[in-house]
Amino acid sequence: MSRSLPIEPLTSAAFAPFGEVIETPAAGGNETNGGLAVRYDEVAKLDLDEGGSKPLLGIFHVKPTPLPIEVRWLECHPIASQAFVPIGERPFLVIVAPPGDAPDPSRTRAFLTNGRQGVNYRRGTWHFPVIALERDTDFLVLDRGDAGGNYAEASLAGGAVLKVAL
């Protein structure tokens, strides 16, 4: 099976089955630092401490991927969430499928960020590595400090191939 995967704009509602969109909320922040800043807490539900592990803050340097691409496999993190927040305003592409034994190509979706959004993949969400589009992009990554047992990779069910193009 081969099909083109439509690309949707990334919104909190559309991404909810897979995790949270990380972006500055329109309201609800708390003024801090003598009025020089507004702080927004808990913009994503981090799930990183299973089995006594600790959070890890890292940086991924991602080279741009020319489109179109063919997606034949996805990865997931079965015991912790994983968050990617771009450094700088650079749109990137996110490809996700709901948790399950294997990624379901009929339920796989692609989202284009606006460059100011990050994503937090919920535990078990299947996803392709983030795709930088126009130029090298650095991402702050919040992940599980002890990666043991927190990575799985699987081919799309039925040997499917998804074609992704802007």
Angle at 139 between CA 27 and CA 41, to 5 degrees: 25
Highest-scoring range by mean pLDDT, 49-63, 99-113, 145-159: 99-113
CATH superfamily of 2-164: Ureidoglycolate hydrolase (2.60.120.480)
Where residue 52 falls among pLDDT bands split at 50, 70, 90?
A: confident
Q: What integer pLDDT is reported at residue 148 of this predicted model?
A: 75
Where residue 53 falls among pLDDT bands split at 50, 70, 90?
A: confident
- Confirm if 90 and 115 have CB atoms less than 8 A apart: yes
Where residue 47 falls among pLDDT bands split at 50, 70, 90?
A: very high
pLDDT per position as a tens digit, 85-98: 999 999 999 999 99
- Tally the residues of the chain: 166
> What would the DSSP string read from start to end of the chain?
-EEE--EEE--HHHHTTTEEEE---SS--EEEGGGTEEE---SS-----GGG--EEEEEEEE-B--SSEEE-EEEE-TTS-EEEEESSS--EEEEEE-SSSS--GGG-EEEE--SS-EEEEPTT-EEPPPEE-SS-EEEEEEEESS-TT--EEEEPGGG-EEEE--
Residue 154 has, within 13 A of its CA and on its CB side, a CA count of 21
pLDDT per position as a tens digit, 75-121: 999 999 999 999 999 999 999 999 999 999 999 999 999 999 999 99
Q: Which of 49-53, 123-127, 151-155, 161-165 has the lowest mean pLDDT?
A: 49-53
Where residue 27 falls among pLDDT bands split at 50, 70, 90?
A: confident
